[in-house]
Amino acid sequence: MLLCDSDYQRYHPRVREVKGKTCEKTRHAPVGEYCKIARCARSMARRFAQIRRLRILALVSFIFLVAFKSLAQQPLQSQQPGNNAPAPRPPATAEIRKTVGFLEVTYHDGSTPSGVIGTCFFVFVPDKRLGENQGFGYLVTNRHVAQPGIESGTPHEGEEVVLRMNLVSPEGGNESAVKQIPLGGRIHWFFPSDEAVDLAVLPFAPDQKQCDYLKVPLSLIVGPDQIASGDIGVGDPVVFAGYFSNFPGTIRMEPIVREGVIAMLPEEKLNTTLQKEGKLFLADLHAFHGNSGSPVFVNLAGVHHGSVVLGEDFRLLGVISGYYPESASFSVPAATVLTGEVHDNSGIATIVPGEELLKLLNSPELQADRDSQVKILTKSP
């Protein structure tokens, strides 16, 4: 706002020094030294006004740009007939639910038949020796699911492994199917060399032409470099999908989805569900019995290292293995396999880091298995 002559006299000290040279009865510009001051003040006021207009314009442009990018990232809600645009991508939580299956492992405790129920998911390890976009699929869960009782020091060998998955096409009115995994030969459990790591891998993946599920690409597993760089930190949002004993679904498999945040990324070792010291992540995430083996995804969207990522960018942080009971007498996390034994839940879940899964998938034993399969699959007839 431009100041009038009286305003100049009231607020500008230099004007008061020369007030004898001004016209006190009019609002016209004075003469002499004050006239120069007035012209300078008007010029400065105009410049300030221009700067304000430019700032407002820049702010409006920024808001418009952000809104435009957000709209551009949103999937199309509908398409005109004959439009060749790709189909809208489903929500991330829907895709996360499609990565899991329900796993039951039966065994004998002496002469008594028994079993445990947990969650599993599938990872895709690419291998260019088989061709472009070809590779191997693996079923991933906790070791205390594959080897029941190991968490309490009395491991049992699983006799049967039964997998429930949703189907691409319903069969007899059912949208899911329960099938036994044929153990034997190369289809056997692989465990980490570190006995503290609560992971198990089976070189098996259902036919995606029959079962409606998604494999997690190896490239989406969070490694130690991403943790060390600060790309992932305490407070970042996490989500998992897994078995819900109260309602696993009747016609189709219904995984439950739960959300929380990373609570701690300790550098020191903690007691794991296998009664040994190992590396764990902690999350403010309410996991419960049946969630053992559930994949935990972290959302990297937001502000990281000064850059903003809009939308969603989920990576596999690790695998649920247990939770800390509420009682102070428990220093070892309880396993989240469904056994019937329940403790008060503190709401803090333990997660086997993705780094440990990468080590297992790249272990000499699994690499040797892939090498042998490549020779068989690429052998000329």
Q: What is the DSSP string of 304-317?
A: ETTEEE-S--EEEE
Contact, 149 vs 137, CB < 8 A? no
- pLDDT tens-digit profile, the chain (381 residues): 434 444 434 444 444 444 444 444 444 445 455 455 556 566 666 766 677 776 666 565 555 444 444 433 443 333 344 455 556 667 889 999 999 999 999 998 888 899 999 999 999 999 999 999 999 999 999 999 999 999 888 899 889 999 999 999 999 889 999 999 999 988 999 999 999 999 999 999 999 999 999 999 999 999 999 999 888 999 999 999 999 989 999 999 999 999 999 999 999 999 999 999 999 999 999 898 899 999 999 998 876 656 666 678 899 999 999 998 876 555 556 665 555 555 567 789 999 999 999 999 999 999 999 999 999 999 865
- pLDDT at position 19, please? 44
Rounded CA separation 11/256 (Å): 68
Q: Distance between CA 123 and CA 143 in Å, rounded?
A: 16
- Residue 379's pLDDT is 83
Helix H segments across the chain? 5-11, 13-17, 33-73, 92-97, 143-146, 224-228, 354-361, 364-377
Sequence-ordered alpha helix ranges (H) in 219-347? 224-228
User: Quick one: pLDDT at residue 353?
Assistant: 98
pTM, to two decimals = 0.74
Q: 123 burial class (0-12, 13-18, 19+ CB within 10 angstroms)?
A: buried
**Residue 288: what pLDDT?**
86
- All residues at 6 or more sequence positions from 12 whose CB lies less than 8 Å from its CB, including other chains: 37, 41
C-alpha to C-alpha distances, 186 to 46, 204, 363, nearest whole angstrom? 81, 9, 15
Give the pLDDT of residue 57.
63
Q: What does the pLDDT read at residue 347?
A: 86
User: With 0-12 CB in 10 A as exposed, 13-18 as middle and 19+ as buried, what is 64?
Assistant: exposed
